[in-house]
Homo-oligomer: A and B are copies of this chain.
Amino acid sequence: MAARPRIKDVAEYAGVSPKTVSNVINNFEHVSDRTRETVKEAIEALGYRVNIAGRQLRQGRTGMITLAVPELDVAYFAELAKHVMAEADRRGQTVLLHQTNGVRERELAALHGFDAQFTDGVILSPLALHPRDVATRDRRLPVVLLGERPAEGSTDHVAIDNVAAAREATAHLLSRGRRRIAVVGGMVRGPQGTDRLRTDGYREALKEAHVPFDSDLVVPVDAFHWRDGARAAAALLDADPRPDALLCLNDHLALGALRALYERGVSVPGELDVVGFDDIEASQFSVPSLTTVAPDKREIARAAVALLLDRIDDPDTSPLQDHVVGHEVIVRESTGG
């Protein structure tokens, strides 16, 4: 089987110089129609395809960006990835997707381009990164962080207003008369991660409604998966007094909780309300369907890609951006919708 043809082969076949072929490929304007036609035929005839390595070596750009998320089988990240890839596509970029499993080491690797000068920049959704990791990173690789923000400054950042989102979701529960609202996946003290910010928003809502805060109702979890939500909900049912609502910090926790409540015969929303975050597709189809805080994922993707490409084009001058994306509380059956 013949080796892949090079630009030189196409040139010889077409009877022109390699550079002319290159000019045709790149739609350079000063190429006569006849030459362009001849070259295109040669490309077709030989089945020629650009070798990206050669191009990148010359141009210094790959046209690829890295997207690093914790886990693809967490629906939120899969949906986000889908949007980022679509947006990148629209802007002529290719996405290299990585999973970090939320492990600091791998997030660090992402932050530094996976020990290869590979893609032009990185969009990273961190979980375990330490503030110092971000502060001391190698500034030569453009990075946009999503969601968590271990440290101010140093990178561009895109996220929803987590405090406001949690406040609104909590207010919704309070407006339905709920008073003992548990926070599944919450965190009272500790770094300003998403869990902490959302717990803060929850507390703000309680305060506004003059409902006392009870730290026993803030339940940390190992991970944000179904099983953790199920486990936490089961534990909360045994508490005395029982909570009358669960504010779950993502939809998987909430869906796991729904399952546990079903197993215990607790009616939702009759006896207890449940709210999630992320608005993954499953939350529309669960039984009962799930009230949730929907971030504008498309806008997150759009902003992240835009910020990153700007930063790639112009690494130094433009000021660091902190893009806040809209969100919305979608009321469904799990809170009487």
A residues neighboring B (CB under 8 Å): 1-4, 47, 49-54, 56-57, 62, 64, 71-73, 75, 78-79, 81-82, 85-86, 94-99, 112-118, 138-140, 226, 230, 255-256, 258-259, 262, 281-282, 284-287, 289, 315-316
Contact = CB atoms under 8 A, between A and B. Distances in A.
Nearest to A138: B47
Contacts of A51: 57, 116-117
Identical subunits present: 2
**What 10 pairs between A and B have smallest CB-CB spacing?**
A53-B56, A78-B78, A97-B97, A259-B285, A53-B57, A287-B287, A51-B117, A53-B53, A72-B78, A226-B285
A287 B175 CA distance: 28
Contacts of A1: 139-140, 315-316
Given A52-B116, A256-B285, 19 more contacts: A1-B139, A1-B315, A47-B138, A49-B115, A49-B116, A50-B115, A50-B117, A52-B117, A53-B57, A54-B57, A64-B96, A72-B78, A73-B75, A85-B98, A96-B97, A97-B97, A258-B285, A259-B289, A286-B287
Contacts of A316: 1
A315 B2 CA distance: 11
A52 B285 CA distance: 45
15 contacts: A1-B140, A1-B316, A51-B117, A52-B117, A73-B79, A75-B75, A82-B99, A85-B99, A94-B96, A95-B97, A96-B96, A97-B97, A226-B282, A255-B282, A255-B285
Given A117-B50, A117-B51, A82 B73 contact: yes
Contacts of A99: 82, 85-86
Nearest to A54: B57
A242 B282 CA distance: 27
Contacts of A98: 85
A112 B47 CA distance: 10
Contacts of A78: 72-73, 75, 78
Contact of A140 (B4, B72, B114, B138): B4
A261 to B, nearest CB: 9
A116 B259 CA distance: 47
Contacts of A284: 226
A203 to B, nearest CB: 29
A256 B99 CA distance: 28
